Chains A and B, each alone.
Chain A
Amino acid sequence: MFDKILIANRGEIAVRIIRACKELSIRTLAVYSKADADSLHVQLADEAICIGDAPSKDSYLKIDRIISAAEVGDVEAIHPGYGFLSENAHFAEVCENCNIKFIGPSSAAIRAMGDKVAARETMRKAGVAIVPGSDGPVENEQDALKIARKIGYPVIVKAAGGGGGRGMRVAHNDPSLVKGYHTARAEAERAFSNAAVYIEKYIENPRHIEFQILADRKGRTLHLGERDCSLQRRHQKLLEESPSPALTTDLRKKMGKAAIKAAEAVDYVNAGTIEFLLDATGEFYFIEMNTRIQVEHPVTEEVTGIDIVKEQIRIAAGEELGYDQKDIQFQKCAVECRINAEDPFNNFQSSPGRIEFLHVPGGHGVRVDTHVYAGYVIPPHYDSMIAKLICYGRDRRMALDRMARALDEFIIRGIKTTIPLHKLVLKDPNFRRGRYSTNFVERLLAASQPLVPPKGEEPIPAHAVARE
């Protein structure tokens, strides 16, 4: 087992990793930008090294400084978290060359799945169903039109170099395809320094179902069930739940098998996630693999009782998983709400600033993963997610009732958050019945226009606000 690990990340995931390390008696080294000097992950780590100025490109993305910090800090492994360098094959390679264990898959696996076009081809060869689409990157407008007409509209143009909703355009006809093709390429170039795009059939109102994979270095690959992540806004996930209300036991078995086949096709080791689209007829298609720990991993942790971050560390240290697929139990139903520092009443404008008052929900079946504390100043340089609220119970109804109750107790003052939006979602009868797909949030927002703050959200009196 490792003696000391460097956490190459920030925010709530850095806190999450440090917690797992502490429980495994592993010493922790945090790296941070100047803007994060007061951050919780810096406070909780055993040691901390400043690696640069606030912008990510000057700090959290600086491979040389992170490796340097790893060397002066004498660590044996680096956990990259999610985002930043977690899916950077070159970074994984540098770690390998410097004899520092990268807690994740091999650089080869990252590369294989990072190129979305190559990944599709690998899956096709492995016999995993993929969305009908182009055989490779689409080189020009004429090819785009040819492929689109062959597959049949509507189609979606997607960036080969990355995801997260960037470099994506849906087209319902020839003119919008031509426009979308060029716009997607420009956006992809900006976001991933790679303008290559491919085209897939656009599946209308699909459900986004992803399967959590764990694979050790002894060749054992398991899945830990699915997460339904259909609730999205502009391709950003808002809420995730497990099990998916749309999956039968049979379908879960089929998709789970496909997920394992996909991971094995690239000799995958460590934690990863296979993403599928599920259409209205019950057909599912591979869209991509995320070769890292994901934001919504706590949902699966509460359902199965397995600590995924600890398993990542154990696998990287060479340990066997020690259990089989048949040992995986789906014991609970769990839901996660991503709380962002954004104003849902003002087009989700980001709301950095100081948290003047914080009351975090608690009680049976409630888990909060966050890096914020009362008095903390949220810097403007990074993504806006400030907390994850996870609720679980014996069945879906209980998990959702708990979530509604917990959202009511969650008070964050001084900044705007998306808590009011989540409350709206939890009240929606279709959501409660499990009837939703990827257009749900847009429709909910449109129907609630203009979104007004619910009654009772008066500012609390000054004397009740905690002061330093």
Chain B
Amino acid sequence: MELEQIKAIVAMMKDNDLSEFSMEQDGLKLRIKRGPDEFQQTVTLPPAAPAQLTAAPVSSQASAPAPAAPAPMPVAAADAKHIESPMVGTFYRSASPDAPPYVELGQEVDVETVVCIIEAMKVMNEIKAEVKGVITEVMAENAKPVEFGQKLFAVRVK
């Protein structure tokens, strides 16, 4: 079978709105399917996860412009650790809207280094790295709510 013949079959299927064509001739089996694949309806699992929390933060720092999120640095999986949120609250990268962020990408941190603030119930809690290494990614968004266990930073451990 020649390519031109196959093109002709495809054109014919399109013109006549056919979705499937198959033929067998001289040991050659040809099957052409048009359009998206049918998808199977599987056994219903528990319904989809609820919406990401998008509530407005409580504090007045809400109007602070969010720093542009730089691209994360590549890091080998084995060395990667995460700094996770120990509480529920609003994440801030700096002590106040005018102050510089506590940490930047590529910055070295120690166990006692303050990496961010999480504001909860009007209290600004300083969050320590509790790990020694280099910040490779900022994973939470400034002035946005975070939940317990949420990843705040990726760290390449020394």
Residues of chain A having any CB pair with chain B under 8 Å: 30, 34, 38, 40, 42-53, 59, 64-65, 67-69, 71-74, 98, 373, 375-376, 466-468
- The reply to whether A64 and B120 contact each other, CB–CB distance below 8 Å, is yes
Q: CA separation between A72 and B50, bound complex, in Å?
A: 16
A interface footprint on B52-94 (CB within 8 Å = 1, 0 otherwise): 0101111000000000000000000000000000011110000
Given A64-B120, A67-B121, the answer on whether A72 and B148 have CB atoms closer than 8 Å is no
Given A51-B88, A51-B148, A466-B43, the answer on whether A68 and B120 have CB atoms closer than 8 Å is yes
- The reply to whether A51 and B147 contact each other, CB–CB distance below 8 Å, is yes
**Taking the nearest CB of chain A, how far is it from the CB of B82, in angstroms?**
14
The 5 closest A-B pairs by CB, nearest first: A72-B145, A68-B88, A68-B120, A50-B147, A49-B147
Q: CA separation between A30 and B50, bound complex, in Å?
A: 10
Q: CA separation between A466 and B47, bound complex, in Å?
A: 17
Q: Which residues of chain A come closer than 8 Å to B148, judged between CB atoms? A: 34, 49-53, 59, 65
Q: Which residues of chain B come closer than 8 Å to A42, judged between CB atoms? A: 49-50
Q: CA separation between A366 and B87, bound complex, in Å?
A: 42
Given A64-B120, A68-B120, the answer on whether A74 and B45 have CB atoms closer than 8 Å is no
Q: CA separation between A49 and B47, bound complex, in Å?
A: 17
Q: CA separation between A72 and B55, bound complex, in Å?
A: 6
Which among A43, A46, A67, A74 is the interface contact of B47 at CB below 8 angstroms?
Answer: A43
Known: A49-B147, A72-B57. 10 other contacts (CB 8 A): A43-B46, A43-B47, A47-B55, A48-B53, A49-B53, A50-B150, A53-B148, A53-B149, A65-B120, A68-B121
Category for how many chain B residues contact A: 20 to 34
Q: Which residues of chain A come closer than 8 Å to B45, judged between CB atoms? A: 375, 468
B51 at the A interface (CB under 8 A)? yes
Q: Which residues of chain A come closer than 8 Å to B49, judged between CB atoms? A: 42-43, 48
**Taking the nearest CB of chain B, how far is it from the CB of A66, in angstroms?**
8
**Taking the nearest CB of chain B, how far is it from the CB of A69, in angstroms?**
5
Q: CA separation between A401 and B120, bound complex, in Å?
A: 53
Within 8 A of A (CB), among B113-158: 120-121, 145, 147-150
- Chain B, residue nearest A39 (CB): B46
Q: Which residues of chain B come closer than 8 Å to A51, judged between CB atoms? A: 88, 147-148
- Chain B, residue nearest A31 (CB): B88
Q: CA separation between A64 and B86, bound complex, in Å?
A: 12
**Taking the nearest CB of chain B, how far is it from the CB of A5, in angstroms?**
14
- Chain B, residue nearest A40 (CB): B46
Q: Which residues of chain B come closer than 8 Å to A375, judged between CB atoms? A: 45-46
Residues of chain B having any CB pair with chain A under 8 Å: 43, 45-51, 53, 55-58, 87-90, 120-121, 145, 147-150
Q: Which residues of chain B come closer than 8 Å to A74, judged between CB atoms? A: 55-56
Given A69-B88, A375-B45, the answer on whether A48 and B121 have CB atoms closer than 8 Å is no
Q: Which residues of chain B come closer than 8 Å to A34, judged between CB atoms? A: 148-149
Q: Which residues of chain A come closer than 8 Å to B121, judged between CB atoms? A: 64, 67-68, 71, 98
Which among B46, B47, B50 is the interface contact of A48 at CB below 8 angstroms?
Answer: B50
Q: Which residues of chain A come closer than 8 Å to B46, judged between CB atoms? A: 38, 40, 43, 373, 375-376
- Chain A, residue nearest B149 (CB): A50
Given A45-B50, A65-B87, the answer on whether A468 and B149 have CB atoms closer than 8 Å is no
Which among B56, B58, B88, B145 is the interface contact of A65 at CB below 8 angstroms?
Answer: B88
- The reply to whether B87 and A68 contact each other, CB–CB distance below 8 Å, is yes
Q: CA separation between A69 and B149, bound complex, in Å?
A: 13
Q: CA separation between A466 and B88, bound complex, in Å?
A: 37
Q: List 28 A-B contacts (CB under 8 A).
A: A30-B50, A34-B148, A40-B46, A44-B47, A44-B50, A46-B50, A47-B50, A47-B53, A47-B55, A50-B148, A53-B148, A65-B88, A65-B148, A68-B88, A69-B147, A72-B53, A72-B55, A72-B57, A72-B58, A72-B88, A72-B145, A73-B53, A73-B145, A74-B56, A375-B46, A376-B46, A466-B43, A467-B43
